[in-house]
Structure 1
């Protein structure tokens, strides 16, 4: 008994120190490379905030990987390392990486779906190998594998709460388990009445949104966030001779890739193509909100997750302003927007997105 107690005392500080360093690593990574996401972290409960930072940091690591490798072979090896790391995480043998250490230490870890981790990595890898979106459906699939998977993991983390028996419990909707029934049958063609009125709404009785509603709303929000992110990245990718605008949209507006690479903001059809994509993103945001019609709104525990909408909405509003007029190369869009922290605070306080 005495030797066991001494061993526990000797190892506990080391484990605590490793956890603290891993959390600091994740926080610093998000603050440096995804600074807008750090604002939402303040509205997560203290026991969920490390999970949020770990998941956002992992997304940053994967998204930035293509810019860190010199060729596809090295890139594929790096992505395979992350796949093996996730496998080790669920086998109880995570590799010595700060994010894996942090994820392994999370109380919510048993309730985070390995499916979405693997889907996130695989989708990022496929986009690295072939970064061209041939159609809007390609963009929808990319959104489902990246932003939607990330949002589903965050919803799972916020749902992992202690039960009255002292054991953690969690309810996960079909979308969080990877059910493809939530995919758009016809992507980005909303009419405004896609979603049936929630049960009880006609009688004036509103019920709390269930997990399936959250998942469905998250799938639409993911598309809006994906489009906003891609539009913001146009100058970065154009400088590397990569076009992130779906080819069917570019063709519709006579936007040629070579003109985009050479002429940047002066490329013919660029602003029209950007305006179409921005309009789709705004429609997806509206549809995500409609998912909560007939309910009491976004449940309190999920409010921080849906704050992912705020930076995207803020960017889209500035992009559509008369001064910018859908020019993604406008220098004002590259600057930190001083109103954004207040917008995040307002959305969190009013449980809106």
Structure 2
């Protein structure tokens, strides 16, 4: 492994331990390429943690747009994640458009507008998460992978819902709401109540409904994955971690604003390996 490749893997491990764990069960020949896609996503998702206001975040997102569109300057070549990403796009003849849409969708992260409804959330999840698994499937297939579209779509939404359920209290304290506001409103919960950390029966019911939505998408992803050729299934090993998260979320449903329990990295890796042992056929 070259120095730049090692840096990409290290960044992925540090910023997105779950996708790093899932990448370890990928075929060795395609692993680095898929890790470059995952590392790009992790780097972009981390922008909101690194800026104190939207403007610097917008500049960083535009830097990535320019890099992908070939308008970047010398700094692009010195960025190991950008270099690995561009090499992957070229090597596998992957379309750049979905990455530009991912960057556009990530602008939402920089502001404090609430996610309006489930339709908007599913679109956001599709453009920021599902796309990663579609790319992974295309890399494993060596070309278009239309058969993987349903698996990628449902897994992305399930994982995004589970992730934002885990981070609900953290985001609420920051004045952000990534989960669909319309579901909370339907249960009599105001956005101001969420940001104030006010627990209620309505809040519990709303989070329960969202958890059920995540389970439904996970079940649909599982059905779609089972129909895929075995060569494509490693792209979707993250489903094991979604299932684990949904079990954990159910067990702490009575403390919606509590800090999420941090799962042990080895346990996450073992969940992925066990999933692959059961599906690699």
Aligned equivalents of 2:240, 2:165: Cα separation in 1:
16
Aligned equivalents of 1:89, 1:285: Cα separation in 2:
38
CA 1:30/1:89 → structure 2, altered by over 3 Å: closer, same or farther? farther
**Is the Cα contact below 8 Å between 1:120 and 1:150 reproduced in 2?**
no
Aligned equivalents of 1:212, 1:236: Cα separation in 2:
36
The answer to whether the aligner puts 1:325 opposite 2:253 as a matched pair is: yes
After superposition, residues 78-97 of structure 1 pair within 5 angstroms as 78-88=60-70, 94-97=76-79
Q: 1:66 aligns with which of 48, 57, 63?
A: 48
Deviation at residue 103 of structure 1 after TM alignment: 2.3
Any gaps of 5 or more consecutive residues in structure 1?
Answer: 1-18, 161-169, 173-210
Partner of 1:274: 207
The answer to whether the aligner puts 1:116 opposite 2:49 as a matched pair is: no
Aligned equivalents of 2:222, 2:24: Cα separation in 1:
23
Aligned equivalents of 1:286, 1:215: Cα separation in 2:
15
Q: 2:160 aligns with which of 211, 215, 226?
A: 226
Q: 1:304 aligns with which of 214, 231, 234?
A: 234
Aligned equivalents of 2:18, 2:235: Cα separation in 1:
14
Cα deviation, 1:55-84, whole Å, max 9, x if unaligned, reads 111111111111212322222111110100
Cα deviation, 1:201-227, whole Å, max 9, x if unaligned, reads xxxxxxxxxx33311221111110110
Aligned equivalents of 2:257, 2:264: Cα separation in 1:
15
Partner of 1:336: 264
CA 1:292/1:156 → structure 2, altered by over 3 Å: closer, same or farther? closer
Q: Say which SS state the counterpart of residue 325 (structure 1) adopts.
A: coil
Q: 2:126 aligns with which of 138, 144, 151?
A: 144
Q: 1:39 aligns with which of 21, 35, 42?
A: 21
Q: Say which SS state the counterpart of residue 28 (structure 2) adopts.
A: coil
CA 1:38/1:48 → structure 2, altered by over 3 Å: closer, same or farther? same
After superposition, residues 202-217 of structure 1 pair within 5 angstroms as 211-217=145-151
Q: Say which SS state the counterpart of residue 88 (structure 1) adopts.
A: coil
Q: 1:134 aligns with which of 110, 113, 116?
A: 116
**Is the Cα contact below 8 Å between 2:181 and 2:191 reproduced in 1?**
no
The answer to whether the aligner puts 1:284 opposite 2:202 as a matched pair is: no
CA 1:95/1:127 → structure 2, altered by over 3 Å: closer, same or farther? same
**Is the Cα contact below 8 Å between 1:30 and 1:37 reproduced in 2?**
yes
CA 1:110/1:337 → structure 2, altered by over 3 Å: closer, same or farther? closer
Partner of 1:242: 176
What is the number of residues matched between the two proteins? 280
Q: Say which SS state the counterpart of residue 21 (structure 2) adopts.
A: helix
TM-score, L = length of structure 1: 0.72
**Is the Cα contact below 8 Å between 1:40 and 1:344 reproduced in 2?**
yes
Deviation at residue 86 of structure 1 after TM alignment: 0.6
Deviation at residue 87 of structure 1 after TM alignment: 1.0
Report which of the two has the higher share of helix: 2
CA 1:65/1:267 → structure 2, altered by over 3 Å: closer, same or farther? farther
